Chain A
Amino acid sequence: MSLVIVDTGVANLSSVKFAFDRLGVEAVISDKVETITKAQRVILPGVGAAPYAMKSINAKGLTPALRNLTQPVMGICLGMQLIFETLEEGGSPVKGLGLVPGTVKALNTKKLPSPHMGWNTLTKKSDDPLLEGINDNDYAYFVHSFAAPVTNITLATSEYGEDFSAIVRHKNVYGCQFHPERSSRVGAKILENFLKVPA
């Protein structure tokens, strides 16, 4: 299994790599179009601010290649947000990679502390090979202020002030709003499933 973690120029690359190491799969960290395109699985990680991350991806000239990937792709946390068409973050909306339809918005936490930080429960909305062995009320580790609304591409939701998409899938592209690499047994299972989903 060849697995590439896209070096988007924002931090948190090694913790994702280590998570796959624990599963016995060596991931390559790369920002080379050829390496990314040829990989059997692609991970789009990310932490931080969307405008900064998109600027970095565009500056590296990766956007056209990422839009044309046909193998299974998974965006994690900010990486999940970047796969959407539009991100309403910062002063004016940012154009995302557009791999999946929809808009990422500020999470309305009502009177709860923000950002949404900690272990929260998942609720499954539809069956998918990615969710094999994952049950309702399993906990995953979240840390974010923005989120994708619940739509027909939502595989699982979570709730903090309002319901939002915890996991999405559109064709070959998956997204996890939480950090599977930091979500203990549940996260490891999801990463393991991602390696097994049909190409």
Chain B
Amino acid sequence: MLARRIIPCLDVRDGRVVKGVQFRNHEDVGGIVDLALRYAAEGADELVFYDITASVDDRTVSPDWVSKVSRSIDIPFCVAGGIKTVEAAGTRLASGADKISINSPALARPELINELCDAYGRQCVVVGIDTFEENGTYRVKSHTGDPDKTRETGRQTLDWAAEAAERGAGEIVLNCMNQDGIRKGYDIKQLSTVRKVCPVPLIASGGAGATEHFEDVFKHANVDGALAASVFHKSVIAIPDLKADLKSRGIEIRL
């Protein structure tokens, strides 16, 4: 059976892994390759690296550290950050990334999703969506790496998730911004709603603080994977313990 995936997310800034609360106040949590090796050894199913300031600074994620990570680990990983063209994506894939994730550039030019799918296949195209709940509606934000540059997109989350999959995204990562970094649990309601309109694998992001939160999101939102950052970086939850606990609670998990 297909296992549910536990995915540590490493936010990268200036070549280091950092973590903020609700996308603000970043602190240094370690080196890229060191953390990648640690999480792979602990049983992470996949890693995601977000170069969080790439889009806002108008840069593109560096292929050098992509290659270093690929050389070091034997689990899949995805890279994101300012990838705006087929060529830029191709360079990262050639450096050893398994998937590339796009967010702000896809909102600016949705055809990019089609182009990436045509060039490399939908299996390596991930679309990240930063979604914010206000008065019961879910809306998409862009350029969330810097709070001062964050923009409203005018898009509804459900519409954008469906459109991204239709255009050729092979996976959707839903970052629920209200929950980010506060460890009160995933947004089960929103994730369940998106799950219904999303025909491709769906990854939950934002809010993990305890083993029960992972259990809830797999059992009640039926997501394929759960992404988390601060609970892993700060050793609030140890991945081997988390995976053993989830397995004992009847969830399909790779041990």
Contact = CB atoms under 8 A, between A and B. Distances in A.
Contacts of A187: 74
B3 A48 contact: no
B121 A19 contact: no
Interface in B65-91: 67, 70-71, 74-76, 90
A110 interface: no
Interface string A160-196: 1000000000000000000101111101100000000
Interface in A141-155: 141, 143-145
Contacts, number: 103
B122 interface: yes
Contact of B123 (A18, A115, A159, A182): A115
Contacts of A115: 122-123, 170, 200-201
B225 interface: yes
B96 interface: yes
A13 interface: yes
Contacts of A10: 120
B60 to A, nearest CB: 17
Contact of B76 (A113, A114, A182): A182
A199 interface: no
A116 interface: yes
B98 A48 contact: no
Contacts of B108: none
Q: From DSSP, what is the main secondary structure of chain B's interface residues? A: loop
Interface size, A (range) = 35 or more
B124 interface: yes
Contact of A117 (B74, B94, B123): B123
A119 B201 CA distance: 13
A100 to B, nearest CB: 22
A181 B97 CA distance: 12
Contact of B225 (A21, A118, A179, A188): A118
A166 B124 CA distance: 19
B93 A47 contact: yes
Nearest to A11: B93
Contacts of B70: 14-15, 18
A18 B93 contact: no
A139 B122 contact: no
Nearest to A14: B96
Contacts of B170: 115, 117, 143
Contacts of A160: 2
B96 A183 contact: no
A18 B201 CA distance: 27
Nearest to B123: A143
A121 to B, nearest CB: 6
B20 interface: no
Contacts of B236: none
Nearest to A181: B74
Given A119-B254, A145-B122, A187-B74, 5 more contacts: A113-B224, A118-B225, A120-B2, A182-B76, A188-B74
21 contacts: A11-B94, A11-B120, A12-B94, A12-B98, A14-B94, A14-B95, A18-B71, A48-B121, A49-B121, A113-B224, A115-B123, A117-B224, A118-B3, A118-B4, A118-B225, A119-B2, A143-B98, A160-B2, A179-B98, A182-B74, A182-B98
